[in-house]
């Protein structure tokens, strides 16, 4: 795929590994389970946002920006990686942190990703839940511009057509790995939130005429709303690529069975899935995104939606730094409702 026509800088370690989970495959007795290790992208403990930031920060530099402005939830993986990318490129970083989770104890605002935001010198301010955070972020950028700065605003999750190019590239990378290993797979599964990862994968596969199911396990929105968000961004990304032909809405597959009580709220299924992968394969997930995404895959296997003879790839989007904001989950082995 001709991606070099887009501005891009190098921030991550690519290609990320594609590994077969032998122990877990045997334990669950279903399909072959493979994992695409986008937790190993290298930037600030890794994660999926690194791919997006390679394109977003490149555009910021081309526009002459001196500061990146963005937003996310308190324990935002995106903000942590954006702050690190700003350090790498000599830019400032300012973030708005939305308090979507308020029942995890006093240290929730200080540990995990927030601690790393401090380490990277990111300035931030908190906002209550329920605001239009893209509007709030743009207003913060405008205020910096009025003071003589040159801000570049990145929407939540880096999820716009420029950021989604990162997962267009991932789709191409994954297909190349499958070809090199002679692997046929039946589906890709991952956690979906701000929609950029799933939209980029779908747009990339569509551009390559690869008809491969991509199932997003929602961590926040009900299925129909998430499907609409992903489809809208996937179409915009395909248009940005110059791909001919509509991307059918029915290709956007969303499972919302793991949302539980809401964004960042633990579930027993998530805790069990995280412990299962850690103890069978030595791989860490996070409680907000990849933990619920992997719980979705485990539930699909146990429901018989994937069976022996099939092969599934789970895209690990990273986020283990957030584990340190949820220590109580793994001390008493229950999904406590509050600290």
- Contact call for residues 312 and 185 (beta carbons, < 8 A): yes
Interhelix angle 49-62/161-181, nearest 10 degrees: 130
The Cα 326–Cα 335 span in angstroms is: 10
* 320 is known as an active-site residue: no
Chain centre distance of CA 200: 11
The Cα 48–Cα 54 span in angstroms is: 11
**For residue 30, which of 326, 317, 312 has the smallest C-alpha distance?**
312
- The residue written with tokens 């191409």 in the block is 172
Q: In angstroms, how far apart are the furthest CA atoms of the chain? A: 61
The Cα 129–Cα 102 span in angstroms is: 9
The Cα 216–Cα 219 span in angstroms is: 9
Of the residues 4, 10, 76, 331, only one is catalytic, namely: 76
- Contact call for residues 259 and 219 (beta carbons, < 8 A): yes
- Residues carrying an active site annotation: 76
């Amino acid at each position: 795929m001709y991606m070099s026509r887009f501005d891009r800088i190098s921030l991550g370690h690519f290609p990320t590994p594609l590994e077969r989970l032998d122990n877990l495959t045997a334990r669950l007795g279903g399909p072959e389970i493979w994992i695409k290790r986008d937790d190993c992208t290298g930037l600030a403990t890794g994660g999926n946002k690194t791919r997006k930031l390679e394109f977003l920060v490149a555009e910021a530099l081309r526009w002459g920006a001196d500061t990146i402005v963005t937003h996310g939830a308190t324990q935002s993986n995106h903000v942590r990686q954006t702050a690190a990318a700003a350090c790498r490129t000599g830019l400032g970083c300012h973030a708005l942190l939305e308090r979507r989770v308020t029942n995890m104890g006093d240290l929730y605002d200080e540990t995990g990703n927030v601690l790393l935001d401090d380490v990277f010198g990111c300035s931030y301010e908190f906002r209550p839940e329920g605001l239009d955070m893209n509007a709030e972020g743009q207003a913060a950028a405008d205020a910096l511009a009025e003071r003589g700065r040159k801000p570049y605003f990145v929407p939540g999750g880096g999820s716009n057509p420029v950021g989604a190019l990162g997962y267009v590239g991932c789709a191409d990378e994954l297909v190349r790995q499958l070809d090199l290993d002679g692997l046929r797979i039946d589906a890709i599964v991952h956690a979906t939130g701000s929609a950029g990862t799933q939209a980029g994968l779908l747009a990339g596969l569509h551009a390559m005429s690869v008809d491969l199911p991509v199932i997003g396990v929602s961590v926040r929105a009900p299925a129909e709303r998430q499907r609409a968000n992903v489809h809208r961004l996937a179409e915009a990304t395909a248009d940005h690529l110059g791909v001919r032909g509509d991307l059918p809405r029915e290709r956007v597959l969303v499972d919302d069975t793991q949302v539980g009580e809401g964004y960042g709220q633990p579930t027993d299924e998530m805790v069990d899935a995280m412990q299962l992968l850690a103890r069978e394969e030595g791989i860490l997930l996070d409680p907000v995104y990849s933990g619920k995404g992997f719980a979705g895959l485990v539930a699909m296997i146990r429901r018989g939606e994937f069976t022996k003879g099939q092969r599934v790839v789970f895209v690990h989007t990273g986020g283990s730094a957030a584990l340190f904001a949820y220590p109580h989950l793994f001390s008493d082995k229950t999904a406590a409702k509050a600290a």
